[in-house]
Structure 1
């Protein structure tokens, strides 16, 4: 049985409040996502944004309209009353992935490090539905979890200066997709042709926190 969730908050500058929930895990992430959605839907006057991360929620506000103390008083009953998001994501994206070769230059090395074959790595990676736990690092970059335990590896010892857009990667118990050409230290096992981020789109990011993702080998 998982320990009950506990919330802590602290000022984050003069116009923001940072909430953190522990223990870190899937339930904590679901609680953060549900609270963020509820806060956006019922926001008091003066609240500017609610930005979820894996186990935290950053709330920005206009201090001349909404004080930190008033925001905390409004939030406190919500922490116990808002249930976590459903265990199964409601909106699931299926993304095609070309694994290995030029699209996934680290696949063979990953398989060797894990004492698996490349096909076993692919089978494991495509075997589960991942949750978008947060967007971060760069616009539209999804942190997806949980990654099957058999695929857990630390980040690469030496990051790359440029990772192609669409690269599907794993590191530190998570999988992610590089939305644009970026530097990065995750292990590249494949690439999707799907556009993850379009600055002119509405919304610009294809994936949102709380969405589900399934990878399909092609």
Structure 2
């Protein structure tokens, strides 16, 4: 499935377990609890986070605001006043952790994570769109064409959205392509730029400063506050990069204001 441009597109709770990963709870300010599903970034960790988020969505508690998944954590935001039932309970954090602990301990079957199509993101590699492609190739001991081939080969997992609205952190990049960040970040990286930083690859969703090595750019918009779902991508999706030419880039790029 290709996504082409569209108009819409502090006490610490004891470790618990949601098999097979341990889960540790700790506060984040006075209105959030972090659930830490181990310390290893992996598909298994991601699945455990997604499974518990789905379980919480089926059994929300009064005062739950939102849940935010990350590489190894799920942050649960809540309204302390609603959790305390308008002041009847003095420690909303303790009440929330008790509710979460009970939910973690449930032996109900985990809901299957909904399958999703692999999203294809077109990328024009090298040249003005990927000024660091040659450096990445040199660092890896590969030709630029081999870098492109290795970068487009995997099916990536979107672990989380962060750094900037709509910015996807992807897992699954070929380890041979791991390249250090630039010693001096660029003051402005254009939206759509595809970069590498260490073992990670990602897509800049908005024009921001950044120090990732830029190897290409997609003409697709990843974030638009006017869309019903402002972020084109979401945690849990699968993604594949597709190499395109400069002519194809121009055809797919939305009209510029």
TM-score (norm 1): 0.92
Task: Check the 8 A contact 2:55/2:110 in 1, yes or no.
Answer: no
- What is the distance in 2 between the residues matched to 1:58 and 1:94? 29
2:98 to 70, 73, 95: 73
1:44 to 61, 66, 70: 61
Matched, 1:10 2:26: yes
Counterpart of 1:23 in structure 2 is 39
Question: Kindly tell me: are residues 85 and 12 of structure 1, through their superposed partners in 2, closer, same or farther at Cα, counting changes over 3 Å?
Answer: farther
Aligned-pair CA distance for 1:106: 0.3
Gaps of 5+ in 1: none
Aligned-pair CA distance for 1:74: 2.1
Q: How many pairs align? A: 215
Which is higher, the Rg of structure 1 or of structure 2?
A: 2
Aligned-pair CA distance for 1:89: 5.8
Task: Check the 8 A contact 1:168/1:175 in 2, yes or no.
Answer: yes
Aligned-pair CA distance for 1:157: 1.3
SS at match of 1:9: strand
Counterpart of 1:162 in structure 2 is 188
Counterpart of 1:32 in structure 2 is 49
SS at match of 2:49: helix
- What is the RMSD computed on CA atoms of the aligned residues? 2.0
Counterpart of 1:116 in structure 2 is 142
Task: Check the 8 A contact 1:16/1:60 in 2, yes or no.
Answer: yes
Q: Give runs of aligned pairs for residues 58-207 of structure 1, distance below 5 A.
A: 58-66=75-83, 67-79=92-104, 81=107, 83=110, 90-207=116-233
More strand by share: 1
SS at match of 1:188: strand
- What is the distance in 1 between the residues matched to 2:60 and 2:162? 23
SS at match of 1:22: coil
- What is the distance in 2 between the residues matched to 1:78 and 1:24? 23
SS at match of 2:136: helix
- What is the distance in 2 between the residues matched to 1:124 and 1:98? 15
TM-score (norm 2): 0.78
Question: Kindly tell me: are residues 89 and 187 of structure 1, through their superposed partners in 2, closer, same or farther at Cα, counting changes over 3 Å?
Answer: farther
Question: Would you identify which runs of 4 or more consecutive aligned residues in structure 1 move more than 4 Å?
Answer: 80-86
- Greater shift after overlay, 198-207 or 6-15? 6-15
Task: Check the 8 A contact 1:33/1:85 in 2, yes or no.
Answer: no
SS at match of 1:124: helix
SS at match of 2:228: coil
SS at match of 1:45: coil
Matched, 1:57 2:74: yes
SS at match of 2:47: helix
- What is the distance in 1 between the residues matched to 2:104 and 2:127? 47
